Amino acid sequence: MNSTTPLEKTSAADHDRRMRAAIDASTRLPVILFYSSAIFWLLVGTVFALLASFKMNEPAFLDRWAWLTFGRVRPAHLNAVAYGWASPAAIGTGIWLMARLCRTPLRHVKLLISGAVFWNIGVTLGILAILAGDSRSIEWLEFPNYASALLFVSYGLLSVWAVIMFRFRQPGHVYVSQWYILAAFLWFPWLYSTSNLLLNFEQIQGGAQGAVNWWFGHNVLGLWFTPIGLATIYYLIPKVLGRPIHSYYLSILGFWTLALFYSWNGMHHLIGGPFPAWMISASIVASVMMIVPVLTTAINFHMTTVCNFGALKWSPTLRFTVFGAMCYTLASVQGSSMAIPSLNVITHFTHYTIGHSHLGMYAFFTMVMYGAIYYIMPRVVGWEWPSARLIRWHFWLVGVGIALMIAVLSIGGVLQGLALLDPNVTFMKSLEIARPWLWMRSGSGILLTVGHVVFAVNFTLLLLKFGKRRSGPTLFGSRPAETESEMHAV
């Protein structure tokens, strides 16, 4: 690079900028489609979450209508946020990252559009089916066959697309994020189809159902949400800071050890259940071995951000992403500890587990997705976020809300667990012990709800290109088509 003249440098920079603009612009339609539907389902899922939370405190609340009973509202919440919000947000981010990392404009946009359409029809049918009482009553797999089949079709299209994109990438090194994304796009359809085949189409019998259920239930986190979340962090933190990952070697080690250990983890949900001891033991060992990939990512995220924590003040993306990255470490270490039988005996069947799942799915994954949306949308739409104040409000509302939720659920859960273990305490008493903590949880839920509304408003304003056009740095440039008119304007 030293031998290049300043002019050559400028033209290389200009070429790269135009190339990146073209790549970002090519992802516009599918990314906006997946993100918009994700945010719609986030709001729907939040309403169900609030309802379910208040029903925990006051069981008689809104119990006159069958479709609003706890047994339907709670799975409707889980499925709306997992398949309505988190997955489409992951897919939208995955599409954009894939195009950027392959260094090629998006191919076969129609595959992705059809994927988004099938996906949303599937989720709508599934949620309606759950509310109508047609749930499968299998956690994480409540959608009946006619809904899950549509999700599978959508996934199949996305997998095919991912392979095609990878095939036609520009030559060069395959960045660690790309490994994660490609793996996630291939692993999930396998997980989803295998579990649905065994549980919904050709139902296996007895305890084996539980094993398949939790093989899926844990792997949907470990082999779908986690890889996409980590891929996003591994791209965004270095990119925002302008610093390469601290130890790239560790990041690659982290990917392959995650691939090796994570798929064994599911059986730790069944400690104490009627299963062969080797199954549970293998799962506990694998859960503890997860320390290896988790440490590699923790070291990398921390060492890349260290000395740059000041940047959290000015970068919305970094603020959300680093929050998520820290919570990934916390959630994983907590998860490994919860697999240890002596701790599991206290926390199992209590609200502590719910706190843990929100630490993973919200404080880690959802926060990272917010960060990604804040980075990606201006580049894709060609418009800056209309209000930085709304972004700050969003961050503090959801940041404080989720921290409070996890804290009160953990404390309430442990108290509940200790009461359950005590033969002198009645079962009813153990529920009453948890009740004040559940009220606080509902309070934290209100904070989250307001945060989601603020986010949705800012997102909608961005889509409508509200406000004055800014030429600030978050807008990374202009699309090739716009460049010329801008030159004239200037």
Nearer to another protein, 61 or 249 (CB): 249
Of 241 and 330, CB closest to another protein: 241
Q: How far is the CB of 55 from another protein (least distance, A)?
A: 38
List, in order, residues 6 or more apart from 327 with CB less than 8 Å away: 359, 360, 363, 364, 367
Rounded least distance, CB 12 to another protein, Å: 4
Closest approach of Cβ 409 to another protein, in Å?
A: 32
Backbone angles phi, psi at 60, to 5 degrees: -85, -5
Cβ closest to another protein, residue 36 vs residue 177: 177
The CB-of-274 to another protein minimum distance in angstroms stands at 20
3-state secondary structure string, the chain? CCCCCHHHHHHHHHHHHHHHHHHHHHCHHHHHHHHHHHHHHHHHHHHHHHHHHHHHHCCCCCCCCHHHCHHHHHHHHHHHHHHHHHHHHHHHHHHHHHHHHHCCCCCCHHHHHHHHHHHHHHHHHHHHHHHCCCCCCCCCCCCCHHHHHHHHHHHHHHHHHHHHHHHCCCCCCCCHHHHHHHHHHHHHHHHHHHHHHHHHHCCCCCCHHHHHHHHHHHHHHHHHHHHHHHHHHHHHHHHHHCCCCCCHHHHHHHHHHHHHHHHHHHHHHHCCCCCCHHHHHHHHHHHHHCHHHHHHHHHHHHHHHCCCCCHHHHCHHHHHHHHHHHHHHHHHHHHHHHCCHHHHHHHCCCHHHHHHHHHHHHHHHHHHHHHHHHHHHHHHHCCCCCCHHHHHHHHHHHHHHHHHHHHHHHHHHHHHHHHHHCCCCCHHHHHHHHHHHHHHHHHHHHHHHHHHHHHHHHHHHHHCCCCCCCCCCCCCCCCHHHHHHHHHHC
Residue 248 vs 396, nearer CB to another protein: 248
Nearest distance from residue 458's CB to another protein, in Å? 11
- Of the pair 172, 274, the CB lying nearest another protein is at 172
Shortest distance in whole angstroms from residue 200 CB to another protein: 11
CB of 158 to another protein, least distance (A): 15
Looking at the Cβ atoms of 230 and 420, the one nearer to another protein is 230
Shorter beta-carbon distance to another protein: residue 109 or 259: 259
Could you tell me the smallest distance in angstroms from the CB atom of residue 445 to another protein? 27
Please identify, using beta-carbon distances, which residue of 44 and 106 lies nearer to another protein. Answer: 106
Kindly state the smallest distance separating residue 135's Cβ from another protein, in Å. 23
Comparing CB distances to another protein, the nearer of 238 and 413 is 238
CA–CA dist 39, 34 (Å, integer) = 9
Nearer to another protein, 242 or 274 (CB): 242
Lookup: tokens for 149: 């089949």
Binding site for another protein (CB under 8 A): 9, 12-17, 19-20, 100-101, 172-175, 177, 183, 186-187, 190, 193-194, 197-198, 201-202, 204, 235, 238-245, 248-249, 251-252, 256, 259, 310-311, 314-318, 374-375, 384-385, 388-389, 391-392, 470-478, 483, 486-487, 490
Q: Are 155 and 111 in contact (CB under 8 A)?
A: no
382 and 22 in contact (C-beta within 8 Å)?
Answer: no
Q: How far is the CB of 402 from another protein (least distance, A)?
A: 21
- Residue 370: CB minimum distance to another protein, A: 13
Structure tokens at 7: 């002019």
Which CB atom, from 67 or from 476, has the smaller least distance to another protein? 476
